[in-house]
């Protein structure tokens, strides 16, 4: 019953989304899918590269550019200026926070101090594990893996697997294709 209802809603939602929603985004393609339960605050600043999936309950708050076939898992939050390459996988409940509140002046509430943002860059073919947090200014190199629950506050070199708080290199991804001699 619920399955059928979901099917009907999606059948109506998709064409409606493309007909009406399309005009509000900076750049999206017919092959991109944004769940009706995802929240995009600045649609005119969101760029999707095609075949992207934004799952339910994810929030995109900022100036965000995603490459081709990027998957954003449920409950994840992308905040600030973020660029992602192709084939990036973001697991559920990840926080990518490309910004900080100003805190230099004790006499002014931090809420009213100048925010800072350097931006976050995520390379191509990166896998970000569940519950990870990536802080402002970080660059994650191509092919890297961010372990579940990692707190990433420094750049991650390409093809490295990092984990922990603060995140450290656990190991490097094998360079050989399995089975190849
Ligand atoms: C990072 C990850 C891919 C590594 O997997 P793996 O190659 O099988 O690594 P291993 O289990 O052999 O662990 C190697 C070492 O790293 C440590 N480690 C593994 N994952 C870690 C993590 N997330 N944080 C901190 N340390 C971690 C292990 O304790 C082990 O340490 P030791 O050698 O001192 O015992 C995996 O642990 C992970 O976090 N996957 C994310 C899963 C996920 O979020 N899925 C959501 C759906 S997409």
Q: What is the DSSP letter of 92?
A: T
Q: How high is the pLDDT of residue 44?
A: 85
Best mutation site among 129, 151, 174 for ligand 1 pocket (most ligand atoms within 8 Å of CB): 129
DSSP structure string for 96-151? EEE-B---S-TTS-GGGSPPB---EEE-TT-EE-TT-EEETT-EE-TT-EEPTT-E
Token duo for residue 28? 């999206």
State which residues of the chain have pLDDT below 70.
17-23, 180-181
pLDDT at 43: 85
Give me 153's structure tokens: 């506050």
Q: What is the pLDDT of residues 167-178, one digit of tens each?
A: 999 999 999 777
Is-catalytic flag, 101? yes
CB-defined site of ligand 1, < 6 Å: 91, 129-130, 145, 147-150, 161, 163-164, 170
Burial group, residue 12, by CB count within 10 angstroms (0-12, 13-18, 19+): exposed
SS3 21: helix
Residue 170 C-alpha to ligand 1 middle, in angstroms? 8
pLDDT in tens, 23-42: 677 888 888 999 989 999 98
Q: Are 47 and 26 in contact (CB under 8 A)?
A: yes
pTM exceeding the 0.95 threshold for the entire prediction:
no
């Amino acid at each position: 019953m619920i399955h059928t209802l979901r099917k009907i809603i999606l059948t109506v939602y998709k064409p409606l989304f493309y007909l009406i929603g399309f005009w509000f985004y900076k750049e999206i393609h017919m092959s991109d899918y944004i769940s009706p339960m995802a929240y995009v605050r600045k649609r005119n600043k969101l760029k999707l590269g095609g075949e992207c999936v934004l799952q339910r309950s994810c929030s995109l708050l900022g100036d965000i550019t995603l490459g081709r076939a990027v998957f954003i898992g449920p409950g994840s939050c992308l905040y600030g200026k973020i660029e992602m390459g192709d084939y990036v996988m973001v697991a559920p409940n990840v926080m990518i926070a490309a910004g900080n509140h100003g805190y230099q002046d004790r006499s002014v509430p931090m809420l009213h101090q100048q925010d800072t943002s350097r931006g976050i860059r995520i390379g191509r073919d990166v896998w970000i594990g569940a519950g990870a947090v990536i802080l402002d200014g970080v660059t994650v190199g191509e092919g890297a893996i961010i372990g579940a629950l990692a707190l990433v506050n420094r750049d991650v070199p390409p093809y490295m697997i990092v984990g922990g708080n603060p995140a450290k290199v656990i190991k490097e991804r094998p360079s050989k294709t399995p089975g190849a001699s």
